[in-house]
Chain A
Amino acid sequence: MSRTARNPLLWLLLTLLSVVFLGPLVVMVLTSFKTTGESQAVPPTIWPGEWTTRAYDVLLSSPDNPVLRWFANSMMAATAHALLVVLVASMAGYAFARMEFAGRRVLFGIVLSTMFVPGFIFLMPNFLILDSFGWLDTLLAIVVPGAAGAFGVFFMRQFFLSLPKEYEESARIDGAGAFTTFFRIVLPNAMPAMVTLLVLSFLANWNDFVWPLYVLFNDDSLTLPIGLTKLQGAYTIDYPVIMAGAAIASLPVLVLYVFVQRYVIDGVASSGVKG
């Protein structure tokens, strides 16, 4: 063990990999503080020769590109989506894990099988369904349909299966009803799984691309990723501005990630082993 830790080759490799993985992100942030001219310099610089916040000033004062609005949209949509997923998935997961009812196996089988149906087959029909609801170009289009995915239900069911039943049984004996037991006893004990699902759902929604690209269109209703592609069109080669937009979009997820990385990684890890 300690022999591995002292191996200089290991540390060389780790350093190299760190540069490869983090380097581009650092360059992105540094570029956002360069002048347009320097961002196109040949050969390119890494460290800005002249620091400027011009890109941020341009971005935050551009009425055509309301970056803060996009930020707020993304934040609201991702938060609402994550909460919705956790709520409906824990309830359904609990039913599948703990309750007996006619058609349970078949129903769970059907739900589970949709995890392997590629999402793109839903593009056209869901577009039309949302259109009929009047949800196109609203955040509802980003928040709700994705919560129908099977992963959350599967994930919560697996968790409840592994949760000891003693708590629920004692609650029952004390005469608590099913809903009280669920919300007062079961859910508090399911916090780790719920937080993991919350974070995974938030991240997935924050970064979602194809769907919002086609169901949002007014400047004011875009989410950040879609707004970024608009910046790409509007500022073609003014890369500091584009990189500033990318940095603004990355910051919250990276900060969130630093705090909850264990949940994220555990969530991803468990999806593989159990899937």
Chain B
Amino acid sequence: MAVALRLGTSRREGSPWLPYLFLAPYLLLFVTFVAVPAVFGLWISLHDWDYMLDSQLFVGLGNYADLFDPTSVIYPDFWNGMQNTLVFTLASVPFLVALPLLLALLLHQKFPGRTFFRAMFFAPYVLGVAVIGLMWRYLLDANFGLVNSLLGTDIAWTTSQPWAWVGLVAVTVWWTMGFNAIIYLAGLGDIPVEHYEAASLDGASWWQKFRYVTLPGLRPVLVFVVVITVLASANMFGQSYIVTQGGPTQSTQTAIMVITDLGLSRFQMGAAAAESYLLALFLAVVSVLNFWLLRDRDAAQQRREARAQRRAVTR
């Protein structure tokens, strides 16, 4: 199959270097800004690193030990940030997985103008977090904000809990809902129409079709959406930075905010690098867990589905 092209590399021009020439520009970037930093970051995390100084103090695993020592200086902020990140992730992911699915189901209907509506619901996402953050900071203002006015409430959305979280989750859902919906839509489009027709012939209700055709068909997409949404939520930064500025009293200061503040504002880069590797480790575990939980059932489900399908076809 690849024979035809192999002639391009080895037979015709004979230069085994050709593929590497094509790869060179990207690999140069990759090595400089991904591969080297990944290792260099580990090296930094083993130091009390202050880039304004000529020499760096090697502290071994000291920074990592500090992250597990409740009396250390960085411990309270880091775990407060981790806890806040967990709260935000747990609070936002269910909405960010479920609501876009409903939106996608709606847009999957056939009606005139669906392309237009699809584009419109995605529109907030093309605006950056800075724009939507400032906009919602204004709309959520406790005194003259439109949200309180429309709801007839008197809530301090940016300076009191739990309302700060409610506001940040709502803003995030509003902002990124279209993104997940588009992914779901593509997944819905890939489910063969025959499956629905077969189910209809069986007299399946709307719910049964959703439960036994749509959901199983979406399973791989669903896994993808859950994994990237968890990662995105765990990376939350801009919304808190702009809307609540981490407040009230650091209660919405996320892990990334803690890391950037420590490393890039207070320049304790060693400790900050250690924090970022620990957080990355957490996220890796969570992602693997997500894949494993959802994949496993997915496979089983598909096997069951295949059996059901065979039965339906033979009937």
- The 8 A CB mask of B274-301 against A (1 = contact, 0 = none) is 0011011001100100000000000000
* With contact pairs A5-B110, A10-B109, A272-B187 given, residues A128 and B51 touching in the complex (Cβ less than 8 Å): yes
Q: With A101-B9, A178-B13 in contact, is A111–B149 under 8 Å at CB?
A: no
Cα–Cα distance between A177 and B8 once the two chains are bound (Å): 8
The one of B19, B120, B135 that contacts A22, using a Cβ cutoff of 8 Å: B120
Q: Is the Cβ of B143 less than 8 Å from the Cβ of A87?
A: no
User: Which one of A118, A129, A243, A250 contacts B231 once the chains associate, using CB atoms below 8 Å?
Assistant: A118
- Interface presence of B5 (CB below 8 A): yes
Task: Enumerate chain A residues within 8 angstroms of B9, measured Cβ to Cβ.
Answer: 99-101, 178
On chain A, the residues within 8 Å of B231 by CB distance are: 116, 118
Q: Is the interface of B mostly helix, strand, loop or mixed?
A: helix
- Interface positions, chain A 103-147, Cβ under 8 Å from B, are 104, 107, 111, 114, 116-129, 131, 144-145, 147
A242→B134 contact, CB < 8 A: yes
Name which residue of chain B comes closest to A203, CB basis.
B126
Contacts of A257 on B, CB cut-off 8 Å? 119, 123, 126
Kindly report which residue of chain B lies nearest to residue A131, judged by CB atoms. Answer: B51
A68 interfacial by beta-carbon distance below 8 Å: no
For window 15-56 of chain B, which residues contact chain A by CB distance below 8 Å?
16, 18-20, 22-23, 25-27, 29-30, 32-34, 36-38, 40-41, 44, 49, 51
Could you tell me if B37 and A165 are in contact, using CB atoms closer than 8 angstroms? no
For residue A228, CB closer than 8 A to chain B, the reply is: yes
Q: Report whether B130 and A207 are in contact in the complex, using a CB–CB cutoff of 8 Å.
A: yes
Selected interface stretch from A47-55, A59-67, A260-268: A260-268
A239 to B121, CA, bound (A): 26
| With known contacts A101-B19, A114-B34, A119-B235, A147–B29 Cβ distance under 8 A | yes
A136 and B168 CA atoms in complex are apart in Å by 31
Task: Tell me if B149 and A43 are in contact (CB < 8 A).
Answer: yes
How far in angstroms is the closest Cβ of chain B from A94? 6
Closest to A224 in B: B130
Q: Please state if A13 and B106 are interface contacts (CB–CB under 8 Å).
A: yes
Q: A4-B110, A121-B277, A229-B130 are in contact. Are A42 and B135 (CB under 8 A)?
A: no
User: Is A17 on the interface with B (CB-CB < 8 A)?
Assistant: yes
User: What are the residues of chain B within 8 A of A184 when measuring CB–CB?
Assistant: none
Q: Are B135 and A24 in contact (CB under 8 A)?
A: yes
Q: How far is the CB of B25 from chain A (nearest CB, A)?
A: 4
User: Which of A10, A44, A122, A209 is in CB contact (< 8 Å) with B129?
Assistant: A209
Within 8 A of A (CB), among B82-103: 103
Q: Do A228 and B131 touch across chains, with their CB atoms under 8 A apart?
A: yes
Bound CA span A269–B149, Å: 37
Give a binary string over B142-172; 1 marks a CB under 8 Å from any A CB, 0 the rest: 0111100100000000000000000000000
Q: Which residues of B have CB within 8 Å of A21? A: 120-121, 123-124, 174, 178
- A225/B259 in contact, CB under 8 A: no
Q: Determine which of A203, A232, A270 lies in contact with B186 in the assembled complex, contact meaning CB atoms within 8 Å.
A: A270
A24 touches B136 (CB 8 A): yes
Question: Are the CB atoms of A181 and B182 closer together than 8 Å?
Answer: no
Chain A residue nearest in CB terms to B16: A101
Residue from B18, B121, B129, B234 in contact with A225 in the complex, judged by beta carbons closer than 8 Å: B129
Q: A5-B112, A249-B128 are in contact. Are A273 and B186 (CB under 8 A)?
A: yes
The CA-CA distance from A243 to B263 in the complex, in Å, is 31
A98–B146 touching, CB < 8 Å = no
Closest CB-CB distance, B170 to chain A, in whole Å?
11
| Interchain CB contact under 8 A, B182 and A265 | yes
Are the C-beta atoms of A40 and B143 separated by less than 8 Å? yes
Q: Indicate if B2 sits at the interface (CB-CB under 8 A).
A: yes
Say whether B134 contacts A232, CB under 8 Å. yes
Is A162 part of the contact surface with B, judged by Cβ < 8 Å? Answer: no
A27 to B144, CA, bound (A): 13
- Check B179 for interface membership: any CB of A closer than 8 A: yes
Q: How many whole Å from A39's CB to the nearest CB in chain B? A: 7
Which of B118, B134, B256, B263 is packed against the most chain A CB atoms within 10 Å? B134
The answer, among A1, A101, A181, A258, for a CB contact under 8 Å with B110, is A1
CA distance A165 to B3 in the complex (A): 11
Contacts of B238 in A (CB 8 A): 209-210
A144 to B138, CA, bound (A): 34
Which of A125, A224, A243 has a CB less than 8 Å from the CB of B36? A125
Asked whether A14 and B13 contact (CB < 8 A) given A42-B144, A165-B5, A246-B131, the answer is no
Contact pick for A271, options B33, B183, B269, CB 8 Å: B183
Asked if B264 and A123 sit within 8 Å, CB to CB, the answer is yes
10 sampled A-B residue pairs with Cβ under 8 A: A5-B112, A18-B117, A22-B123, A92-B27, A98-B8, A121-B38, A123-B276, A145-B29, A262-B115, A272-B182
Contact surface of A with B, Cβ cutoff 8 Å: 1, 4-5, 10, 13-14, 17-18, 20-22, 24-25, 27-28, 31, 39-44, 46, 87-89, 91-92, 94-96, 98-101, 104, 107, 111, 114, 116-129, 131, 144-145, 147-150, 153, 165, 168-169, 172, 177-178, 181-182, 203, 206-210, 213-214, 224-226, 228-229, 231-232, 239, 242-243, 245-246, 249-250, 253-254, 257-258, 261-262, 264-265, 268-273, 275
Which 5 A/B pairs are nearest by Cβ-Cβ distance?
Answer: A207-B128, A272-B183, A225-B130, A269-B186, A125-B37
